[in-house]
Amino acid sequence: MKCDHCDKQATFHITERVGEQEHWEERHLCESCARDYLSKPSEADIQSSLASALAQHLKIGQTADELAKLDKKTCPMCGISFFEFRSHGRLGCPHDYVCFEPQLMPLIENIHGEKTHTGKRPRRYAKGLDQQTQLIRLRKEMQRAVQKEDYERASQLRDEIRELEDEA
C-alpha cells in the first residue's frame, strides 16, 4: 500500500475518530509522513474538524453576500473579525461568545451536541459578560496609562479593577 501523502510504501496504519460524526478515518503513511503526522498535536486535529464543521455550517446557512458581510463583523472589545476567527479557529476575547452568538451557537451545538454547560462553576465569577468586558476595557486603559507614564491614572484604574473583581 502506498503512503497517503507521498509515493513511498506505507508502513504505518493509524485509525482515528474524526469530528463529531460517527466517522473513522484510516491513514496509511510512510515512516517520515507518519512522524510528521504524529508530531502534530492532537488539538490540531480537533482544530481541523472545527474548521470543517464551520465551513459546512456557513455553506448551508448563508449566501455569498451574507457571508461577505458577516466576515467583516468585528468584536468591539478585541477587534477580531469573524473572518479572522473562521480562518484561524481561535476567538479573540470572552465577549466574542456574545457578539458572534448567532453564528457560534449552531457551531457549538454541532461540535458538542449540546448548548448548555452542566459542570463545575467557579465560586465567584464576573456577573454577566458586561462586567467581564468592563474588566478587559479597564485593563487596557491601565496599560495605556502606564505607557504614557500616567501612574496616578494607572493606579486609579487598578483599584477599579480590584473592586470589580471583589464584587464578582
Partner 1 sequence: MIKLEELAGQCGEWLRGSGPDSDIVVSSRIRLARNLADFTFMRKCTGLDRASIERTLRERLGRIEQWDSVSFIDVNGLDEVDRQFLVERQLISRELADADGSRGVLVDANEQFSVMVNEEDHLRIQVMNSGLDLMGAWQRINQIDDLIERHVTYAFHERLGYLTACPTNVGTGMRVSVMLHMPALVLTRHLERVFRSLQRISLAVRGLYGEGSQAMGDFYQISNQITLGKSEEELIAQVSEVAQTLIEYERKARNFLVENGLKELHDRVSRAYGLLCTAQTISSEETMALLSSVRMGVNLGLIRDVEIPTVNKLFIHTQPAHLQKIRGTSLSTADRNIERAHYLQRHLGRRTHDESTENN
Q: Does 77 bind Zn ion (CB under 5 A)?
A: yes
Site for Zn ion contains 3 (CB under 5 A): yes
Of 57, 56, 47, the residue nearest 103 (C-alpha):
57
Of the pair 27, 158, the CB lying nearest Zn ion is at 27
> If you write DSSP's letter for every residue of 70-139 in order, what string do you get?
HHH-B-TTT--BHHHHHHH---SSTTHHHHTHHHHHHHHHHHHS--S--S---SS--SHHHHHHHHHHHH
- Which parts of this chain interact with partner 1 (CB under 8 A)? 11-17, 20, 22, 24, 26, 31, 34-35, 38-39, 41-43, 45-47, 49-50, 77-80, 88-94, 97, 104, 107-108, 111-126, 128-129, 131-132, 135-136, 138-139, 143, 161, 165, 168
| CA–CA distance, 95 with 79 (Å, rounded to integer) | 11
Partner whose binding site includes residue 124, from partner 1, Zn ion, none (CB under 5 to 8 Å by kind):
partner 1
Of these partners, partner 1, Zn ion, none, which one is at the site of residue 3 (CB under 5 to 8 Å by kind)? Zn ion
